[in-house]
Structure 1
Amino acid sequence: MARKWVKGVSLSLSTIIMATAVAGCTGTAGKEATAPQGGATTGAAEADGKISAKEREVTVTFPEHPNQPVKNMAPVQQEILKLTNIKLKFETVPNSNFNDKKKILIATNNLPDIIQVDMNDINSFASTGVFLPLLQYMNKGLMPNFKKVWDQNPDMAKLTADGDLYGFPAIGRNEQKNGFGPIIRVDLLKKHNLATPKTFDELLTVLAELKKIYPDSSPFSARKGSGPIHQLFKTMSYMLGSGVGNGNGIYYDKDVNGGQYVYGQGTPEFKNVLGYLNKAYTMGVLDKDYAVATQQQWTEKLTSGKAFFFMDNSGFALDYTKQLQKAIPEGQLQLIPIPEYKPGKARAEFYATTITNDRIFAISSKAKDPETLVKLIDWMYSEKASNLMNYGVEGVHHTLDAKGQPQLKSDYVMKFKDGQPTGFYAMYSDLGSGKLSFTPWFSNSEPQVQVEKLTGNWSDKHEEFWKIIENDKAYHDPYLDPPLTKDESSRVKEILVTLNTMLEQEYDKFIMGVKKLDEYDAVMKKARDSGGAELEKIYNGALARLNQKK
């Protein structure tokens, strides 16, 4: 088994900023695989043989998602060792505890060879020297696969800090677009003649009706998020007319002055978000345990019929419906179009399907022989490596079709027909593969579709799910934040420590009604005066500077 870090680690936000880790999302696709935005299909290291002259162990730390247990020396790791002479040792951290552990590792400069971070970490800590700067290696020609991605994607510049690149972003391979979305028990709507809600107000009305019919239920269930900003805000704020970005409060709002950065919690729009959640809580619609519920508890309520609605990774609907139908055969959790937050206004963001800024693999500046680690990760952006790290070993777990694209072998996939929580997660866990593992060029959608079809779990409900997303014009692609200078990053870090420490203890008081909503006006003003307004100035200035260079 992979080495696991112990739960329960804590560190004061007054000393280190909290970052956000995002779990994997589900998807589907039916397109041919291509190199990442024109990336190479082979590289110098791959062509010349093994990356390391002798066997070397490399430690890698990333969050372990509860859906996909991690084990060391799974088939993918074994094949990587065979091909490169590098033995990957995974030192995983439970997803719920990853941010705490990551903060300590970064703050003490006690990093593994490779660690999963996000742009909040890069902006906050690159200036301390804990992460290896990469452009020097690209300029030496040691990153041929990744450089092709870099050259063909101008937005990659947004992943830099103070003019350098400090990590390799996870890049999607033919990913179907998906995102946070509203999931509801459509079978109950039909059974009780309730119309599909088209606005957020109608949503509360419908859930309140279900609460009357099923008084022991918790219609609107949620899970506790990690970081200083609750999962409810991450999933709902933008749809309700505000936003919290990638967990630090600052976000790009296309509807403000033609598009600009806003510090969400310092605006009246965020007060409206709190008011909406307070109303849901007061009505008895929002689960009383929303602030502490684990993912397991959240899942149990949704799959046992005790909860009827959630706003989160909409792909969970497909997995949870299958589990729900074991207890309630007619039960169906299905995505509905994004409700309007005011007349004629509905909006939502897709997950990043190509370049991600929340899953970045950084190399420790103290790592032994960093050049070899750079070559290793660069090799992982080759098609051969991507096939291996998403589909397993060729000839054993998959074959290549006439177009040279990987197709999972039925005899292997059928071993996971009844896998938990799903067949594809069970297969990923067995292989040591996919987006939730250490996979810089990941394919999350296509293997899942293949597994669902080979195991007979694909249905018209899956087709309906993806058509709803495809036809919903409320969704748009996400925005990558502009790069910051060293001084800007340092100042952002200082501001966020202050703001997060101040605000983290306030949110639930307003949702639960401990404080009256009008009292948030004072909190809002204090948030802006304590740095929220300055954050907006920094990010809008950085965006203007980037646009001038184009």
Structure 2
Amino acid sequence: MRELSRRQAIIGLGAFTLVLAGCGEDEAPKKAAETSANKAGAMANYAAGQQFKATEPVSFDVLYNNHPFYPLKDDWLFWQELTKRTNVTLKPVAVPLSDYEKKRGLLVGSGQAPLIIPKTYHPQEEAFVASGAILPISDYVDLMPNFKDKVAKWQMEPDLDTLRVADGRYYLLPGLHEEVWVDYTLAVRTDILEKLNLEVPTTWEELYTVLKAMKQEYPDLYPMTDRWGVPTPGGNLLKLVAQAYGTKGGWEYQHATWDAAAGKFAYTGAMPQYKQMLEYLNKLVKEKLLDPESFTQQDEQAKQKFNSGKSFVISTNAQTLINDYRPTLSKLVPKAKIAKIPVPMGPIGDYKIGTRLENGVMISKKALENKNFVAMMQFVDWLWYSDAGEEFAKWGVEGTTFSKDASGNYKIADDVDFVGLNPDASKHLQKDFGFSNGVFAYGGTTKLLESTFSEEELEFQKVMNARKAWPLEPPHPFSDEEREQATLWETPLKDYVTQQTLKFILGERDLSEWDAYVKELEGKNMTSYMNLVNGAYERFKKDHG
């Protein structure tokens, strides 16, 4: 289990020491030299809360994750208004969403990546650290007053510590949320619950009871089918169930999980809690309550089953509830009602598990050679971290796509729709204007985050926000040599855990063979890997806490 271990003691002295460790006496003059010659277009006295506008027209290329729901358009108001406000023209290098991670890796590895590389989820950036392909961005945050202001105001140094590698630096600029935010959960057909006189399930065991009752009423159907199984089998479902037992799975899977009772990290895929997750999901599959295709089917197949009334429970978030389910379901099953339920709880109790850090931006090392480097960092700071930039990226242009009342509450324009706020509108905030784009719009105050939420979503957040936040894990950054060795072990370990996880869940391998499976992981260097992890943890604790 994960725990905030000695973190507060680290914040003041430790985090400061880390910065010094990453930027020694010989580094400061080097940094100054790197930036002094590359200030073309930069503002001389740029500060937090100030509108950034380059002193001359500049342009930067940006890796662009092209989402099929709102495919890239050159004539979006987003591009035009961004240039008008900042004097910066962004040149997107578009990559399909389905191929984004692979293409990003190839571009960064070959040195051909754009200067600005968004939509990177920690710890994906660590794969590019040893080669020197990306900047140790923590060395340059002095150029980013809005970023620094939010980190200080929201006391986020412990969160940033989780990104640091052994040299004390971090290489990813994460999106910053004021509070932990939970979005992904399950959608349930509430009309079926009403028909069967069932309450909305609040725990995973209650969900099991609900699915059994549904199965009894509809014996020829799987009550639950799921999506987001490609490319990560059971991506959201495994994540949620694993969290309920105090471990990690699916999208959130990492090799090491903090075991507070033992005071060290355990190998996630061999934890008793991981086995409990498998037992639960195996029970659902075995009793034909969960569609076994859930872990490998394409999203369209899952949506088709759910929207046609062939299943009643599926993974969701706020946008997919509005965009993917309700419109089609209302046509095919007119009397259907659907709700996004609070994340079911498990043995660990009423915890809200998440992070205040979002996916983030990497900066290519070659940006240092660009004469507009300082201007670029100021621009990144304004767009991704200033209140004005975050509002612009999310809502667009006041008077065109939205308005605000005297209390600062947002209202979408009458002819514009977004997440069902204006379902009969002729235009769409993402598709027609380019705002609320996942490449640029994430992070910010809770008020901004919740500004597009429906009353239904606000109720969901109210329930989730009443839960306790799960503590952060202590850092365990690898040295370059350790990272190189760990990388050799991680892929075969991850592949084997994924393969065997599916076999256990689907009943292709009996859970009585759990001990044999753990021995097989030991044969794939699990113990040696965990010695690296715990050695790195002990070293960090000794040096910085």
TM over 0.5: yes
| Cα contact 1:228–1:247 (8 A) shared by 2 | no
The amino acid that maps onto 1:189 is: L
Distance 1:532 1:73, change over 3 A: farther
Once the two structures are TM-superposed, the CA of residue 361 in structure 1 deviates from its matched residue by 0.5
RMSD of aligned residue pairs (Cα, Å): 3.7
Alignment size in residue pairs: 489
* Partner SS state of residue 93, structure 1: strand
Cα deviations by residue, 1:27-73 (Å, 9 ceiling, x for unpaired): xxxxxxxxxxxxxxx935996963262342x2222434444433345
- Give distance in 1, aligned partners of 2:242 and 2:185: 12
The amino acid that maps onto 1:134 is: I
Give the structure 1 partner of residue 182 of structure 2.
178
Once the two structures are TM-superposed, the CA of residue 248 in structure 1 deviates from its matched residue by 4.4
The amino acid that maps onto 2:435 is: S
- Report which stretch shifted further, 461-470 or 491-500: 461-470
Q: How does 1:266-415 map to 2 (within 5 A)?
A: 266-311=270-315, 313=317, 316-317=320-321, 322-323=326-327, 324-336=329-341, 338-339=343-344, 341-342=346-347, 345-346=348-349, 349-352=352-355, 354-356=356-358, 359-367=359-367, 369=370, 370-380=373-383, 381-399=385-403, 401-402=405-406, 405=408, 407-413=410-416
| Cα contact 2:62–2:117 (8 A) shared by 1 | yes
Larger Rg belongs to:
2
Gaps of 5+ in 1: 1-41, 453-457
Quick check: 1:506 aligned with 2:500? Answer: yes
- Give distance in 2, aligned partners of 1:475 and 1:186: 28
Q: How does 1:94-243 map to 2 (within 5 A)?
A: 94-116=96-118, 117-138=120-141, 141-151=142-152, 152-155=155-158, 156-161=160-165, 162-172=167-177, 177-197=181-201, 199-226=203-230, 230-231=234-235, 232-243=237-248
The amino acid that maps onto 1:355 is: L
| Cα contact 1:223–1:294 (8 A) shared by 2 | yes
Once the two structures are TM-superposed, the CA of residue 244 in structure 1 deviates from its matched residue by 3.3
Cα deviations by residue, 1:496-533 (Å, 9 ceiling, x for unpaired): 12212333333322222222223343222222453434
- Give distance in 2, aligned partners of 1:190 and 1:351: 31
- Give distance in 2, aligned partners of 1:137 and 1:198: 45
| Cα contact 1:200–1:339 (8 A) shared by 2 | yes
Distance 1:224 1:145, change over 3 A: closer
TM-score (norm 2): 0.77
* Partner SS state of residue 114, structure 2: coil
| Cα contact 2:54–2:375 (8 A) shared by 1 | yes
| Cα contact 2:352–2:465 (8 A) shared by 1 | no
- Give distance in 2, aligned partners of 1:341 and 1:48: 46
Distance 1:414 1:363, change over 3 A: closer
Give the structure 2 partner of residue 17 of structure 1.
none
Distance 1:447 1:355, change over 3 A: closer
Cα deviations by residue, 1:248-283 (Å, 9 ceiling, x for unpaired): 4335446x4076533221223323322322222222
| Cα contact 2:147–2:381 (8 A) shared by 1 | yes
Distance 1:163 1:448, change over 3 A: closer
Q: Percent identity?
A: 26
Distance 1:235 1:521, change over 3 A: same
Cα deviations by residue, 1:123-179 (Å, 9 ceiling, x for unpaired): 2221111102224433xx42222233344421223322222232211123x568324
Once the two structures are TM-superposed, the CA of residue 307 in structure 1 deviates from its matched residue by 1.7
Gaps of 5+ in 2: 1-44
Once the two structures are TM-superposed, the CA of residue 362 in structure 1 deviates from its matched residue by 0.6
| Cα contact 1:338–1:347 (8 A) shared by 2 | no
- Give distance in 1, aligned partners of 2:48 and 2:89: 16
Distance 1:47 1:311, change over 3 A: closer
* Partner SS state of residue 292, structure 2: coil
The amino acid that maps onto 1:362 is: M
Once the two structures are TM-superposed, the CA of residue 191 in structure 1 deviates from its matched residue by 0.8
Cα deviations by residue, 1:186-234 (Å, 9 ceiling, x for unpaired): 3212211235445534433431331232234331121244555641322
Distance 1:478 1:69, change over 3 A: farther
| Cα contact 1:229–1:247 (8 A) shared by 2 | no
The amino acid that maps onto 1:285 is: L
* Partner SS state of residue 128, structure 1: coil
Name the structure where helix makes up a greater proportion of residues: 2
* Partner SS state of residue 362, structure 2: strand
Cα deviations by residue, 1:279-333 (Å, 9 ceiling, x for unpaired): 2222222123212222333233333322211345466446566333344344333
Distance 1:427 1:347, change over 3 A: same
Give the structure 2 partner of residue 517 of structure 1.
511
- Give distance in 1, aligned partners of 2:297 and 2:412: 38
| Cα contact 1:318–1:462 (8 A) shared by 2 | no
Distance 1:154 1:307, change over 3 A: same
The amino acid that maps onto 1:167 is: L
